Chains A and B, each alone.
Chain A
Amino acid sequence: MEIAVNRYEQGNFFLAIEPRRCKGCGVCVQSCPQGVLALNGEGKVEAKEIARCVFCGICEQRCPDFAISVYKERIIQPSLV
């Protein structure tokens, strides 16, 4: 089974959110200092304002459900060759 992961990018940095794991508790939404996250109509979290994200990692640390991962290392682009 393919597990859906939503990816929200800002250059080479991104947030990966796995809706299947999200229980809609809102802890990440209220913890984010930048107002990036919001719950959608299905009670799942989305990075609605990804442009404002500073990749501080707080949402990942606070999520009790392992639903958000913050990737801030430079992703090595595959060679164009």
Chain B
Amino acid sequence: MEFQEYLRVERLPHVWCPGCGHGMITHALACALAELELDPRQTAVIGGIGCSGRAAFLFDMDAMHTTHGCAVVFATGLKLVRPTLTVVLTLGDGDAIGIGGNHFIHACRRNVDLTAIIYNNSIYGQTGGQVAPTTPVHRKSTTSPYGNLEHPFDIARLAIAAGATYVARTTSFDFPDMIKYIKRGIAHKGFSVIEVLTHCPTYYGRLNDLRDPYEMLHTMKEQTVPIEEWAQLTEEEREGKIVIGELHRQERPEFVESYYELIAQMRDGH
């Protein structure tokens, strides 16, 4: 199947603003599903609330648009009752680690076999550009007009510390890498996190003098350093840079499988 066949192309043009990175990530996700030759009847996309969550609407398969921050919870339930389904999450940075931070770290800890794609645009896009737990320090948002005083979460590092067993980070500029990591995340048995750094030209861009989407893409890309080069950098050189690439991979018992194994054991015991 071609990637277009995984999408509800009749819903295009989508609702995202001109130049928004969310379309690029969604394109890569559709390509990843197509390259893995997944059966759409055996795949589900679960979105949270936010511009990013709306990606779920675009997939021509079972999809859920859940409540803000709770997509991981719905997905965990779905995976438990339908363990053979491939379940992919499309989450915003606010959705995943702002309001949904608690659910997110516990899904990492449990190692549920889900693939979370985090559309990290460093801001609350849908509600008008409020500061997010990912907004870099000193950057502006509608609720930090003089610059953000708080330091942001590093989503990938948070996921690793909380126990996620596959963690990669890339940008919406790196199309082949988005596809590669999403494919590996889906193939990995356990909780996979693919953090995609992306751009919201409408709010983050406008408030931080980066109105042009192309310019934003490049500015973002220039801030990143591939993991292969990161080790050679001094602490000083790492200042203001973000490491990208496959950051973590680990084998650990997966929650849903362990759950069914326990059920089987209990049955045998009776």
| Interface: A35 (CB within 8 A) | no
User: Could you tell me if B23 and A65 are in contact, using CB atoms closer than 8 angstroms?
Assistant: yes
Please encode chain B, from 153 to 176, with 1 for each CB lying within 8 Å of some chain A CB and 0 for all others: 000000000000000000000010
Question: How far, in Å, is A38 (CB) from chain B's closest CB?
Answer: 14
B→A interface (CB under 8 Å): 4, 7, 9, 12-14, 16-24, 27, 175, 201, 212-214, 217
Closest residue on chain B to residue A30 by CB atoms: B214
Which residues of the other chain, A, contact B175 by a CB distance below 8 angstroms? 61-62
Interface residues on A, range: 10 to 19
Are B18 and A66 in contact (CB-based, < 8 A)? no
In the bound assembly, the distance between CA atoms of A23 and B12 in angstroms comes to: 11
| Known A21-B12, A23-B13; contact A64-B24, beta-carbon cutoff 8 A | yes
Complex formed: what's the CA distance from A61 to B16 in Å? 17
Q: C-beta contact mask, A19-51 vs B, less than 8 Å → 1, else 0? A: 011011111001100000000000000000000
Task: Give A68 Cβ to nearest chain B Cβ, in Å.
Answer: 11
Q: Does any Cβ of B come within 8 Å of A63's Cβ?
A: yes
* Complex contact B23–A66 (CB within 8 A): yes
> Which residues from B are CB-within-8-Å of A63?
23-24, 27
A65-B12, A65-B13 as given contacts; A24 in contact with B23, CB under 8 Å: no
Residue contact B13 to A26, C-beta cutoff 8 Å: no
Min C-beta distance of B6 to chain A, whole Å: 12
What chain A residues lie within 8 Å of B4 (beta carbons)? 66
Contacts of B21 in A (CB 8 A): 64
- Check A27–B13 contact: CB distance below 8 A: no
CB-CB under 8 A from B24, the residues of chain A are: 61-64
- In the assembled complex, how far is the CB of residue A60 from the closest CB belonging to chain B, in whole angstroms? 8
7 contacts between A and B (CB under 8 A): A21-B13, A23-B18, A23-B19, A26-B214, A30-B214, A65-B16, A66-B27
Known interface pairs A20-B13, A61-B175, A64-B21; A27-B27 also in contact (CB < 8 Å): no
Q: B214 touches which one: A18, A21, A27, A61 (CB < 8 A)?
A: A27
A63-B23, A64-B24, A65-B23 as given contacts; A27 in contact with B217, CB under 8 Å: yes
